[in-house]
Structure 1
């Protein structure tokens, strides 16, 4: 009889069985750094094989991903940042560690746009300029116009200055929650301010595109909740590859797949099944039905479902199929 041990379904079952014999890990829903997740007692889903595909010198030089809140965007961004620090030992035991990768350090410019002040246009522009200036201080570079109130100009100077300070080494630029200021305005029902801020950000992100065309940038990764519209900001970032549109193999880089849940949370699934007085297969089916799952490419194929990691972590932390909101 031909064995089907090598099939994805059998592999997932074997991984689940092996994981179930391992001691349970600590479940935390509030960690956003790669280092925190890599502590020996913490549960961690290894996404580094996908990271290797993204950061390979032969791959695309820039990606954009939009996902719902608390879907693992920030932790993936931090994982990418750790790779570009050239710290191979930080990945010991993970898939990328044994891959043929260039472990080289690159200068990194990193922004979290959720930190910006959106009270009014002037304060927003000032906080955006301040964000750039602080990043310049971190890299120990003196901007050509440090007192400028033009955030786009400052950003362009920052990229260029860091590039030349690091001996013409390409800069890695990571922008988390690119649309956070706009969404905050919409939540406050101030669409007019949101539109003005959107125009400022469109100009700001244009500096990233122009710097890339000059050869200053090694890699770009931008995250958000909303898709890039074709006008304004979308036109400024149109040279980024949308993971959903151009790289379907990377669609599960954020979130947990069914196989990852089975292989990583074996002890937790066993305990959840015991408390629910069900077989593990039935318990897993309940989890899938309760939290549905997103499918960006493999329409109609359950193997392509990606689940919100926050909800899954809450299930195994509380051992209850609750109404876990990603806004908590």
Structure 2
């Protein structure tokens, strides 16, 4: 094993700590210098735990004189720490910040509202120091996200933040630099309506890698850690890089820019010397699943990649019954391709950590499987197909559907199509499996070392018709030259019982 004494900054969000205590870090200071000297008001949207807080801390160190002889007054607002479940919670945390600054710069006797106090602090800080003020806001939208399903509370927070952030425009002559970060950019909650001069760099190519780790940065900075990881998992160095890329890479924040690795998962994989779902486990996307269910969004489209117009990225509109922009901005989907002619983006899961983490999280909402038995079911399905025991697989699948409780059974065809999608997509984590919904392709194909299974499911049709469709549509043609045994299965699915009712299987040598 290689040197394990190098310090990984897991959970460290203060740039000064990283530098003074000799933690490893990927140097982004060139981009920090560029932004600090080429503009003033910035906004950056990135998923949680992607380095936004550390980026703001780097700006703070820069403007406090850690890099220059000139020291600016810095007002740093962190909205991460509070649980926003009551109107007064937001008022309290903003007031607490203001009180600390007022102890240093004073308070006007007529400043009673949060916004007037904020404006007064900015003006006095500039006048007393002789330097323009730096304002850094970390997770500006945290209160809005926590209140997303409470419209009354959301409106209250919207009005408070609209007035508070609006001060940054009226106080422009006192400001040297402004940087706001968050997960989303909300529209029609009017938070930014008074702050319309913000430079939103969330999807601009020069800043696409300001948070996250590029492949080259990974190799240049963490080669000893990569070697430790490869030895611990009995992989070659190149195999480790490929596994890291498949598991943690793939985030694209601009259609023209290089992809990046999730920094939180990368550091934790080095620390634990294993591949795991580190980022996904730090937060549960319950509110996103609830939005999907409320909007009756077809999950099959989401799970196979979805094409959306460029307008989906400009902002998240609360009054539109479409959860996709928020799912993208939260980091569960990312840009995978771009159609220049029609200006449409292809969104998909960035990597295996998010893909299988998200699907596993969805399962209890749509099937009888609980979190603790998903692995059992999927494992049994795969074992049976690997050994050629297709009868056991189909029987288990029948028992699986029979176990769906009434409250999960909404008696719609789409619901059961989604369940098929989830089951086969989850099998893809361990074997080559794909499931389709478009015409002209088999419903599902599973490839194991010895067998290729081609499934066709018929709702209120016959198993004979399903087999005939496999032959007539040429579903087997792509596998004719394959050395493996081809198994085709025609399955009847009854709308009365909402279950498999009969199946026929034929083997093609």
Same fold (TM over 0.5): yes
1:238 corresponding residue in structure 2: 196
Shift of 1:308: 1.4
Ranges of 4+ aligned residues in structure 1 off by more than 6 Å: 20-23
Counterpart-to-counterpart distance in 2, 1:202 and 1:34:
30
2:75 corresponding residue in structure 1: 109
SS of structure 2 residue aligned to 1:310? helix
Shift of 1:49: 0.9
1:321 aligns with 2:275: yes
Give the one of 3, 7, 24 matched to 1:43: 24
Q: Is the 8 A contact 1:133 1:146 kept in 2?
A: no
The structure where helix makes up a greater share of residues is: 1
SS of structure 1 residue aligned to 2:245? helix
Give the one of 86, 90, 93 matched to 1:124: 90
Counterpart-to-counterpart distance in 2, 1:25 and 1:185:
41
SS of structure 2 residue aligned to 1:63? strand
CA gap of 1:25–1:271, structure 2 versus 1, over 3 A, is: same
Give the one of 286, 292, 302 matched to 2:243: 286
Count how many residue pairs are aligned between Structure 1 and Structure 2. 282
1:177 aligns with 2:177: no
Uncovered stretches (5+) of structure 2, i.e. residues with no partner? 284-509
TM-score by length of 2: 0.52
Shift of 1:103: 4.2
2:461 corresponding residue in structure 1: none
1:206 aligns with 2:170: no
1:160 corresponding residue in structure 2: 123
SS of structure 2 residue aligned to 1:110? strand
Alignment of 1:24-63 (within 5 A): 25-39=6-20, 41-56=22-37, 59-63=38-42
Shift of 1:324: 1.1
Shift of 1:31: 0.6
Give the one of 73, 87, 108 matched to 1:144: 108
CA gap of 1:210–1:263, structure 2 versus 1, over 3 A, is: same
CA gap of 1:21–1:273, structure 2 versus 1, over 3 A, is: closer
SS of structure 2 residue aligned to 1:143? coil
Give the one of 134, 147, 167 matched to 2:100: 134
- The CA deviation string for residues 61-111 of structure 1, in whole angstroms up to 9 with x for no partner, is 1211111111000011001110111123xxxxxxxxxxxxx6421111111
1:264 aligns with 2:264: no
Q: Is the 8 A contact 2:115 2:167 kept in 1?
A: yes
- The CA deviation string for residues 260-299 of structure 1, in whole angstroms up to 9 with x for no partner, is 1111101000111122222212211111111232111245
- The CA deviation string for residues 177-228 of structure 1, in whole angstroms up to 9 with x for no partner, is 1011111223xx423202211121011100011111xx10000011111124
1:226 corresponding residue in structure 2: 184
Shift of 1:23: 6.9
Shift of 1:117: 6.0
Q: Which range moved further: 217-226 or 22-31?
A: 22-31
Counterpart-to-counterpart distance in 1, 2:255 and 2:84:
38
CA gap of 1:145–1:178, structure 2 versus 1, over 3 A, is: farther
Counterpart-to-counterpart distance in 2, 1:40 and 1:125:
35
2:346 corresponding residue in structure 1: none
Q: Is the 8 A contact 2:166 2:192 kept in 1?
A: no
SS of structure 2 residue aligned to 1:77? helix
1:254 corresponding residue in structure 2: 211
1:77 aligns with 2:56: yes
TM-score by length of 1: 0.79
Counterpart-to-counterpart distance in 2, 1:146 and 1:22:
60
Q: Is the 8 A contact 1:116 1:128 kept in 2?
A: no
Counterpart-to-counterpart distance in 1, 2:263 and 2:46:
12
Superposition CA RMSD, Å: 2.2
CA gap of 1:292–1:266, structure 2 versus 1, over 3 A, is: closer
